[in-house]
């Protein structure tokens, strides 16, 4: 990922909740606390950022020396992640408005303009945008120094502007500004039950490791991260891989715009998730586990750390778990720092090891060569929660819910044009129309985006399709767009998202997403022609066939599906010309705007 917030200035944080600030910064002490472990590099950089508001050249040099790493590697990591900054901050606050299409349609740009007007000339240095921050159920929202503020209104913006103008410390801001709700409108197996700490783990231990793997096989549980790989097959492969050391990783980096289910599971069903991880450790023979938590969910981290400490005291983690001699397993939290690509499991492992989150070549796969090249099970939050219920119910009973191919329930993150955005848990195989009726979407639904930007755009004629692996697979996001919404703007927003989040590793994605963004933006602005449509479709095919990882492979999907299913909507926006001038001076100045961090009206030709 090119790794800057979209105003190009970096997201220097002055203080972050959940990260112990080091003030004044004592790097030798900080390095000692992290055991001078190079895999802790990202966590070290986060703490430097929290203490100083940026990562200075001197800090990079000292970290490189203390970790025995090349300085270039440390600087490379510091410049890769969006929430780290090597630019000295212009003030004590950094405000980033969520800019996914749901947030934009809810009025985010207008509220951002209001805040900038309140703050005056300095606002351009302090107020920017970022992608989705996991709050599409309560938009518009923003991050201030890494802390989330939901449900923005004009009144809230005025309050925030006054606090910033007065330089009020964040810990003195009104607590209600940071209150995150968890609207659960329909609960089922996962959201409805509150499991006590260790309940599922005890049930699994009573079955033995082989017995638990057998129950997983009977359950037909498939991973809930989107790919839908068999959980049993993944765990069995990790268990059978050679070597004495294995790891369990919980992927809590749900960066797909429109998704927020894992946030609620971590806050309301954490014991089920942690039991699921510990059951996995027992089943495959792992000793260490990690929760890779997306940086935008910083407010969730303290509760997770508290729960881990409680479980150690109850002998649910640590040495000889629940009195089982030789069953040693513990879990630690690693925070991400704003890189969508780290949701891909091999990029996540690279980040976990303290490197840039560049997806690995596969094979080999993480089950044999994962964290530190050791056998590693990577599952997402919802999958581990499902495992806990498989342990309690047994595989056959779990498989009674859902379809023969897609068993169990699925938690859907519903947002957009509906009366009741929030979470809905349905048996696998429920229809799109059923979910639309539950959330109060009404009859004037133009389209639904299932699975986030990388998923499927569905037209009304497809609303009887089923949400399951054999029909419409989904990572949990369900965006509703009413008849008054501009679907070309939706596709343009998704395309800009992929271009911004490209890690830059492979040329097809690095260059292709940027070219596709320019073509789709031209069409969305009414300046595009059929030539732009043909170019965009060729780029979509190139990205799908030649990209290194799934980000690039799916980056063209929003436009390709718009062209396939809503062609009249697209053609109505075309210019009457078959071509446009081959040289656009304002477009040619785009690289200069990116370098200088300028994207205001005065930085464009023809705008005042």
Mean pLDDT across 381-388: 98
**230 Cβ partners below 8 Å, 6+ apart?**
220, 221, 222, 223
User: What is 28-55 written as a DSSP string?
Assistant: HHHHHHTTT-GGGHHHHHHHHHHHHSS-
**What fold does the segment set 184-399 form as a domain?**
Rossmann fold (3.40.50)
pLDDT tens digits for range 342-354: 999 999 999 999 9
3 state DSSP class of 390: helix
Number of H helices, E strands in the chain: 27, 14
* Confidence bin at 3 (pLDDT 50/70/90): very low
Nearest to 297 by CA among 331, 324, 327, 262: 262
* Confidence bin at 577 (pLDDT 50/70/90): low
Q: Hunting for tokens 């059929």 — which residue is that? A: 530
Whole-number Å distance between alpha carbons of 285 and 282: 5
* Confidence bin at 90 (pLDDT 50/70/90): confident
Give residue 88's pLDDT: 87
Q: What is the dihedral of CA 89, 98, 136, 564, to 10 degrees?
A: -140
Residue ranges per domain, the chain? Answer: 95-178, 184-399, 409-485, 488-577
Q: What CATH homologous superfamily does 95-178 map to?
A: Glutaredoxin (3.40.30.10)
The answer to whether the pTM exceeds 0.75 is: yes
User: Nearest 5°: CA angle at 522, between 517 and 527?
Assistant: 175
pLDDT tens digits for range 472-531: 999 899 999 999 999 999 999 999 999 999 998 899 999 999 999 999 999 999 888 899
**CATH number attached to the domain at 488-577:** 1.20.1440.230
CATH 3.10.20.600 assigned to domain 409-485? The reply is: yes
**25 Cβ partners below 8 Å, 6+ apart?**
48, 51, 52, 59
Q: Does residue 386 or residue 580 have the better pLDDT? A: 386
**20 pLDDT higher than 60:** no
pLDDT tens digits for range 44-57: 999 999 889 899 99
Q: How many residues does the chain have?
A: 608
* Confidence bin at 560 (pLDDT 50/70/90): very high
Q: b/e per residue, 212-247, with b = 16+ CB within 10 A?
A: bbebbbbbbbbbbbbebebbbebbbbbbebeeeebb
Q: b/e per residue, 102-130, with b = 16+ CB within 10 A?
A: bbbbbebeebbebbbebbeeebbebbbbb
Q: What is the dihedral of CA 411, 143, 255, 334, to 10 degrees?
A: -100
Nearest to 434 by CA among 399, 382, 474, 478: 478
Look over the chain and give the mean of its residue pLDDT values, rounded to a whole number.
91
């Amino acid at each position: 990922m090119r790794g800057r917030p979209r105003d190009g200035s970096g997201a220097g944080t002055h203080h972050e909740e959940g990260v112990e600030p080091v003030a004044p910064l004592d790097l030798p002490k900080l390095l000692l606390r992290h055991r001078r472990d190079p895999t802790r590099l990202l966590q070290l950089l986060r703490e430097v950022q929290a203490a100083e508001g940026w990562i200075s050249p001197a800090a990079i040099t000292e970290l490189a020396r203390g970790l025995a790493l090349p300085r270039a590697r440390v600087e490379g990591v510091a410049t890769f992640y969006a929430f780290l900054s090597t630019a000295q901050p212009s003030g004590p606050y950094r405000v980033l408005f969520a800019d996914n299409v749901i947030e934009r349609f809810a009025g985010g740009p207008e509220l951002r303009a209001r805040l900038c007007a309140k703050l005056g000339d300095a606002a351009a240095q302090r107020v920017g945008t970022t992608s989705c921050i996991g709050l599409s159920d309560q938009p518009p929202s923003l991050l201030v120094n890494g802390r989330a503020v939901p449900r923005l209104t004009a009144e809230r913006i005025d309050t925030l502007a006054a606090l910033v103008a007065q330089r009020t410390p964040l810990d003195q801001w009104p607590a209600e500004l940071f209150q995150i709700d968890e609207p659960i409108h329909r609960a089922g197996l996962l959201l409805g039950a509150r499991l006590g700490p260790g309940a599922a783990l005890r049930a699994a231990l009573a079955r033995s490791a082989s017995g638990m793997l057998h129950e997983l096989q009977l359950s037909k549980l498939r991973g809930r991260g989107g790919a839908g790989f068999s959980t049993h097959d993944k765990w069995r492969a990790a268990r059978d891989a050679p070597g004495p050391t294995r790891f369990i990783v919980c992927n809590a980096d749900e960066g797909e715009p429109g998704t927020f289910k894992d946030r609620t599971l971590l806050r309301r069903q954490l014991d089920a998730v942690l039991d699921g991880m510990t059951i996995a450790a027992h089943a495959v023979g792992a000793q260490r586990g990690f929760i890779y938590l997306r940086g935008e969910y910083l407010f969730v981290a303290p509760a997770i750390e508290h729960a881990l400490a409680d479980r150690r005291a109850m002998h649910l983690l640590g040495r000889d778990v629940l009195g089982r001699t030789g069953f040693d397993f513990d879990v630690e939290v690693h925070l991400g720092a704003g890189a969508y690509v780290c949701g891909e499991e091999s990029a996540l492992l690279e980040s976990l090891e303290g490197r840039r989150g560049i997806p690995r070549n596969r094979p080999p796969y993480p089950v044999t060569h994962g964290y530190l090249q050791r056998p590693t099970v990577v599952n997402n939050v919802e999958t581990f929660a499902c495992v806990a219920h498989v342990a309690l119910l047994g595989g056959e009973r779990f498989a009674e819910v859902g379809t023969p191919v897609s068993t169990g329930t699925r938690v859907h993150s519903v947002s957009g044009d509906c009366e009741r955005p929030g979470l809905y848990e349905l048996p696998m195989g429920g229809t799109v129309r059923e979910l639309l009726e539950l959330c109060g979407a009404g009859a004037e639904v133009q389209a639904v985006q299932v699975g986030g930007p990388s998923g499927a755009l569905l037209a009304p004629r497809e609303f009887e399709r089923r949400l399951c692996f054999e029909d419409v697979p989904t990572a949990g996001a369900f965006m509703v767009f009413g008849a008054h919404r501009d679907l070309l703007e939706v596709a343009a927003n998704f395309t800009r998202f992929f271009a911004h989040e490209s890690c830059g590793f492979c040329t097809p994605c690095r260059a292709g997403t940027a070219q596709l963004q320019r073509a789709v933006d031209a069409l969305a602005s009414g300046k595009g022609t059929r030539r732009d449509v043909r170019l965009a479709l060729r780029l979509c095919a190139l990205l799908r066939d030649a990209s290194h990882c799934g980000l690039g492979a799916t980056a063209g999907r929003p436009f390709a599906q718009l062209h396939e299913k809503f062609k009249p909507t697209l053609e109505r926006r075309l210019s009457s010309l078959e071509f446009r001038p081959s040289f656009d001076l304002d477009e040619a100045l785009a690289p200069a705007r990116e370098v200088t961090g300028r994207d205001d009206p005065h930085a464009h030709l023809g705008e005042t």
